[in-house]
Amino acid sequence: MTALPLATEKKLGLVIDLDTCVGCQACVTSCKEWNNGGYSAPLSDEQPYGADPHGAWLNRVHSYEAGEGAKGRTVHFPRSCLHCETPACVTVCPTGASYKRGEDGIVLVNPDTCIGCKLCSWACPYGAREYDYTDGIMKKCTLCVDRIYNETLSPEDRQPACVKACPTGARHFGDLGDKESAVSKLVAMRGGYDLLPEMGYKPTNKYLPPRPRKADALVGGTTPAETIPATDGSPAERLFAWVDRVLSA
Amino acid sequence: MQQKITIAGEARSPLAEPDVPLSVPVGDAVKTTTCYMCACRCGIKVHLKDGRVRYIEGNRDHPVNRGVICGKGAAGIMQHYAPSRLRAPLLRVGPRGSGEYKEIGWEEALGIATGWLSRIRATDPKKLAFFTGRDQSQSLTGWWAMQFGTPNFAAHGGFCSVNMAAAGLYSFGGSFWEFGEPDWEHAKYFIMFGVAEDHASNPIKIGLGKLKARGAKVVVVNPVRTGYGAIADEWVGIRPGTDGLLVGALIHELLTAQKIDLDYLVRYTNAAALVIDSPGSADHGLLARGEKGEVLIKDRRTGAFVGIDAPDLSPVLQGEVILADGRKARPAFELLVRRFMAPEHAPEAAAERTGIAADQIRRIAAELARAAFDQPVVLDQPWTDWHGKRHDKLVGRPVAFHAMRGISAHANGFQTCRMLHILQMLLGAIETPGSFRVKPPYPKSIPPRIKPRGKAADVKPGTPLPGPQLGFVTGPDDLLVEPDGTPSRIDKAFSWDAPIAAHGLMHMVITNAAKGDPYPVDTLFMYMANMSWNSSMNVPAVIEHLTAKDEATGEYKIPRIIYSDAYFSEMVPYADLILPDTTYLERWDCISLLDRPISDADGPADAIRHPVVQPDRDVRGFQDVLIDLGWRVGLQAFTKPDGSRKFPGGYPDYIVNHERGPGVGPLAGWRGKDGEAFGKGEPNPKQLERYIANGGFHHHELAPDQRYMKFANRSYMEWAHAKGFLESTDRLVMQLYCEPLQRFRLAAEGHSAVTPPETHRDRIKTYFDPLPFWYEPFEEKAIDLNQFPMHAITQRPMHMYHSWGSQNAWLRQITAANRLYVSRGKAAELKIADDDWVWITSHQGRVKAQVKLMEGVNAETVWTWNAIGKRSGTWGLDKEAPEATRGFLLNHLIGELLPEREGGYRFSNADPITGQAAWYDLRVRIEKAEAEPAGTSPRFEPLTPPKGVGRGGR
């Protein structure tokens, strides 16, 4: 058992907009390339050119469909550590390697004390933890802790690699503990929600639901074509008469 | 801060949090260049550490991607270090396809190539067929081919999107994607047609993000609901090849509703032009012209005939007009109205074939009308039109369109795309705020004033061609056909088979060359095109052609093949001489305004690549090799008068010092001795340094009054003329009526010195309609639809956008095998379950694939991801890699030729106007296959990699 801080000064996390995620995998590979050389290095690949290529990834996008036919949706769902306020992955850790930082709430793994027992991956209901077969230890999203405070980066680049990469602007980073932060306001405005709140781990990351569709705005209404009085002649003759009126005006 | 530990007892706390190094520098150097993971050409920052690539991110300053990067671009490291990279020049020593090579040095390789090429050039230059695939340096490769003197040059546009490019350039002087973009900042209604997750990558994603954030409505017309379709407000799951019916019905509705921008049509298009009405005569269907050749309209106030460029027109738009010489004519607008208001264009008529309910079509038309006319965008930006009339504001129709291959890769793609442009014109939605904007140096003359060269009379031993191989024909006289009607080019571009083949027909070269139709070639020289695999239709036949021998001589029918590629692709074993290219991080490149620039609608932009790391293999950038070969073969353009090399510094030397015209070179930025000139200026020896210092690109921002209405905007046109983008400051009239097409029709009726052969007459008469129309794609017309009831199409996964590089170690962990996606409802009908193996059968052959069921697909359509399937042994992968055992290509099922017709002539499976390969016309049936053995079929013999390439199975 590893203990948690009672409270953290900040609650840094991600806000992910399911309304604009097109499933392009930019966040996935940007995460891989940053962390393959960063604090979590290496993120190992097994059989990279072989019959069963797989490896450690800290962020994955899943695509699935909901609903039937044209009324259904295709949803792209990016999944990474949610940096929960009370994460089971930390409390189950037998060595103290998993921990939640007091100053910003980021959940990290100490690579020096992790023994790769995988208890944390069993405990996490979000599937956010990955075992690195080469390193023999657990890896997880660090919220790019080695970017967001990195004084060698320009201030606008001090954000997680996935957020910087996202072409549609579907990923946002900030302090969800501060009601006045841009991400908190976004969550409030768009009805951001927790994943599996019933589990009680209080995820910091929030997901924004798809916006209501504008598909049916005119259903049942009158179309402009129906407003044209059916006077003499064909629709073409009526169009030419209209053209005549407009050009004579 | 000290943590408060509250759980007592056995809790083990990290009392001292480990010391996480937070400010480690990313690397020891960062260099800025241009991505080449796809055709998007985003700006990237490459971080290096100890001489190795550590991290690649988007360049925030770059006009294409504004700092973002895509899933593929961010996997560039693994492309750069891929074990499939070729290591040294190779000479084939066993039979083609055997994989028996000899590694040779560059001097020997270039010596062999020089020997082959010199002999051809000295005797018959057309015996060289030079086709350059996914080339991003066409202004160099085309120029080289022209200097060599062969008519046989093109890149991959013929199987990519020439229908879109040509339809746009013949309609408004720009095009979707490459030469135009939606007004992402102001559009309120956006319709995207047939964008199979591609073209363009990051700009579309950035733009969609903006539209969604602003609350604009996004409609996606696509048989498949995946990435872009997933976030659309409305998915229109259309049946493939029927988009023209949908667009026609939208036009029908807008005309019926009297919701068109009449002022825009009259001012900026040739809607009022008078079309001569004298069936059977040589001038039937041409436009009435005045003494100076000006297109005439009839003024409704005075009854006079005046030129279409006159100010404040009030033209007659309907009714028969008697011209001064007594001939009859009718306004083009009337012809358009009569066509599209006919009952066959009503939404009800389109519903069955498109699979879209008439009510839905009517609603979309209504929404278009409402967005365009009830919510115009008004910008407080004065501008001056071509007459010098000042307008206080810019008023726009916030309805934006974008389209790509779902329109383009059909045999009816040119006319469908033209129809879409006419819909845009009717709505006043080209170059107005909120609509679709053109990217400088476009718009160009409609069409651009470049004519293709390459008739036999143009081809002489030891002599350059008198002009470029590719261009824009405006009548039969411009065709590249010989007096007996045979095509001048090996791919039959600009012949009666494909008169407006502006990008050539690369997909026909191997077939035609092996058949000696219209003539045999000596050497096939290709770059970056996987023609024995995913870049060809009918792969088995193409492999046969590549290995076919002349029975009499025992020589290959295509005697010599030179190929340049950076990786061990399926094509490598079929070449005789292999020139290994560098990776994109090791090379110089020039993304030039002379071919396919990276401009946006606010201004022209060009870019470079420069080596950010040095090769660790014996490889050379292809363009360096080409310039070297140019000198070795004795091409004047690459040789100084004293016989020495004109560009001893290779490609970068050429980029800086080559002048296409006085002061015009490959790069437009920082020209002139002092580097202060844009567009025109003498070569600047420090030009590349300036590009590198600026992040690898140059972007010229247009003045605010030049950014819209570019075809009629005096300030823009004067500027564009001064820079050499426009031949004059005459405004450009958009072509609602495409007169050049009628000239081909008249020729088919015998009214021309150059007429089509009998086999082609009906085809030309039917399809060269100056007003667009929908017709059934050729494949479905030629086959029994009861046997092949379904459509089969491909898309590219966004992380493998543009097909190449899918062997990438990271990307293949996301997708290493493709499934056949089938609608759940249709599968139930066919008694096919998820994960079943099925045979997909076309008139051409059959392929075995594993099924994945889904909801978001048109019920009559099956689809898969393109170019995941690989031939065993290639790309540095294990022979049992899923790409080879379970991945498959639909290419095997697509004919490159249409079935034989009466008279025995076989046309290519292509658009009859442009020659665009019609790979989306594929029709199939699917049947449950035996479960064992699991795995795809056919599986071709594994290919053997050269020594040192790949470490598959590690």
| B784-807 pLDDT, tens digit each | 999 999 999 999 999 998 878 899
Q: How many domains does chain B have?
A: 2
| Contact (CB, 8 A) for A84 and A55 | no
Judged by a CB distance cut-off of 8 A, whether residue B72 touches chain A is yes
Is A14 strand, coil or helix? strand
In sequence order, which ranges of B371-490 are alpha helices (DSSP H)?
Answer: 405-408, 413-426
Instruction: Give whichever of B1-5, B327-331, B805-809 has the largest mean pLDDT.
Output: B327-331
- Cβ neighbour number for residue B239 with a 10 Å cutoff: 19
Check B11 against A3: CB less than 8 A apart.
Answer: yes
Q: Which residues contact B108 (CB under 8 A, 6 or more apart)?
A: B89, B91
**pLDDT for the residue B118:** 98
pTM score: 0.96
Element (H, E) at B236: strand B234-236
Q: Taking CA atoms, what residue in B is nearest to A75? A: B230
> In Å, how far is B34's CA from the nearest CA of chain A?
16
Give which of B407, B430, B425 is closest to B254, Cα–Cα: B425
CB proximity B16 to A under 8 Å: no
Is B573 within the bounds of a domain?
no
CB contact under 8 A, A3 and B813: no
For residues A171 and A16, the answer to whether their CB atoms sit within 8 Å is yes
B209 touches chain A (CB under 8 A): yes
CB atoms closer than 10 angstroms to residue B645: 16
**Torsion angle of C-alpha atoms B870, B876, B879, B882, degrees rounded to 10:** -50
Express each pLDDT in A133-167 by its tens digit.
999 999 999 999 999 999 999 999 999 999 999 99
Residue B14 in contact with partner chain A when CB distance is under 8 A? yes
Residue B914 · residue B741 · CB < 8 Å: no
Residue B712 DSSP one-character state = S
pLDDT of residue A215: 62
Residue A56 CA to residue B639 CA, distance in Å, equals 54
CA distance B524 to B528: 13
Which chain A residue shows the shortest CA-CA distance from B218? A214
Share of chain B above pLDDT 70, in %: 97
Contacts of B667-672 with C-beta under 8 Å, sequence gap 24+, read B667/B590, B667/B592, B667/B606, B667/B608, B667/B691, B667/B698, B668/B593, B668/B604, B668/B606, B668/B698, B668/B700, B668/B723, B669/B606, B669/B694, B669/B698, B669/B700, B670/B698
Helix (H), strand (E), coil (C) string for B806-817:
CCCCCHHHHCCC
Mean predicted confidence (pLDDT) in B645-662: 97
The interface predicted TM-score of the complex, written ipTM, equals 0.96
Considering only CB atoms, A50 lies closest to which of B234, B253, B881, namely B881
What is the overall mean pLDDT for chain B? 95
Pair B946, B101: CB distance under 8 Å: yes
Judged by CB atoms closer than 8 Å, whether chains meet at A95 and B83 is answered as: no
Residue-number span of the structural domain to which B895 is assigned? 778-928
| Minimal C-alpha gap between B212 and chain A (Å) | 7
CATH number of this structure's domain A12-208, picked from the four choices 1.10.1660.10, 3.30.70.20, 3.90.1150.10, 1.10.10.10: 3.30.70.20
B439 or A214, which is more confident? B439
Residue B672, by phi and psi: left (phi above 0), alpha (psi -120 to 50) or beta? left
Structure tokens at B131: 């086709």
- Please tell me which residue of chain A has the smallest CA distance to B48: A37
State mean pLDDT over B57-84. 97
Give B765→chain A minimum CA distance, Å.
26
User: What pLDDT was estimated at residue B311?
Assistant: 87
pLDDT at res. B3: 42
A-contacting residues in B 799-818 (Cβ below 8 Å): 799, 807, 809-814, 816
pLDDT digits (tens, 9 = 90+) for B230-277: 999 999 999 999 999 999 999 999 999 999 999 999 999 999 999 999
pLDDT of residue A117: 97
Interchain CB contact of B61 with A (< 8 Å)? no
pLDDT digits (tens, 9 = 90+) for B4-19: 344 444 455 555 788 9
Q: For residue A84, give Cα distances in angstroms to A8, A87, B16, B572.
A: 11, 5, 21, 52
Residue B6 pLDDT? 41
Strand ranges inside chain A, DSSP E: 12-17, 45-46, 54-55, 59-66, 73-80, 98-100, 107-109, 130-132, 137-139, 171-175, 206-208
Instruction: For chain A, give the longest Cα–Cα distance.
Output: 88
Q: Where are the alpha helices (DSSP H) in B789-915?
A: 811-814, 824-829, 882-885
Residue of B205, B568, B875 to mutate when probing chain A, most A C-beta within 10 A:
B205
CB count, 10 Å around CB of A54?
A: 14
Q: Which two tokens stand for residue A107?
A: 């959940």
Closest CA to B484 of B499, B496, B501: B496
Distances (CA, A) of B769 to B268, B751, B772, B913, B918: 21, 16, 6, 10, 19
Chain A interface includes B839 (CB < 8 A): no
pLDDT digits over B678-690, tens only? 999 999 999 999 9
Of B288 and A228, the structure prediction assigns the larger pLDDT to: B288
Q: Does B730 reside within a domain? A: no
The nearest CA of chain B is from the CA of A168 a distance in Å of: 4
Query: What whole-number percentage of chain A has pLDDT above 70?
Result: 97
**pLDDT confidence of residue B5:** 40
* pLDDT tens-digit readout, A190-234: 999 999 999 999 999 999 999 988 765 544 567 788 888 877 789
pLDDT digits (tens, 9 = 90+) for B393-425: 999 999 999 999 999 999 999 999 999 999 999
**Per mean pLDDT, which range of A112-121, B585-594, B900-909 is the poorest?**
B900-909
Q: Look at residue B903 in the predicted model and tell me its pLDDT.
A: 61
Q: Which of A67, A95, A228 sits opposite B257 (nearest CB)?
A: A228
**For B259, which of A54, A73, A224 is closest by C-beta distance?**
A224
Residue pair B132/B446 in contact (Cβ under 8 Å)? The answer is no
Cβ atoms < 10 Å from Cβ of B644: 9
| Residue B140 to residue B891: CA distance in whole angstroms | 30
Among B55, B257, B880, beta carbon nearest to A33: B55
CA A108, CA B21: separation in Å to the nearest integer? 13
Contact residues on chain B for A210, CB-CB shorter than 8 A: 231
Could you read off the pLDDT of B691-734 as tens digits, one per residue? 999 999 999 999 999 999 999 999 999 999 999 999 999 999 99
Residue B157's pLDDT is 85
**Confidence grade of residue B431 (pLDDT, cut at 50, 70, 90):** very high
Whether the CB-CB separation of B218 and B232 falls below 8 Å is answered with yes
The number of helices, as runs of H, and strands, as runs of E, in chain A is: 7, 11
Closest CA to A86 of A206, A202, A214: A202
What's the pLDDT tens digit per position in B472-529? 999 999 999 999 999 999 999 999 999 999 999 999 999 999 999 999 999 999 999 9
- B910 found inside a domain: yes
CATH classification of the domain holding B343: 3.40.228.10
Which chain B residue shows the shortest CA-CA distance from A143? Answer: B22
- Chain A residues touching B315 at Cβ < 8 A: 247
Tokens describing residue B364: 């979309």
* Nearest residue of chain B to residue A170 (CA atoms): B209
E strand or H helix that includes residue B217: strand B217-221
Asked if the peptide bond before residue B447 counts as cis, ω within 30 degrees of 0, the response is yes
Residue A84: partners with Cβ closer than 8 Å, 6 or more residues away: A107, A201, A202, A203, A204
Mean pLDDT computed over B903-925: 92
Does residue B244 sit within a domain? Answer: yes
Mean pLDDT of B316-344: 97
Quick one: residue B579, left, alpha or beta (phi over 0 = left, psi -120 to 50 = alpha)?
beta
Residue for token digits 């920052």? B45
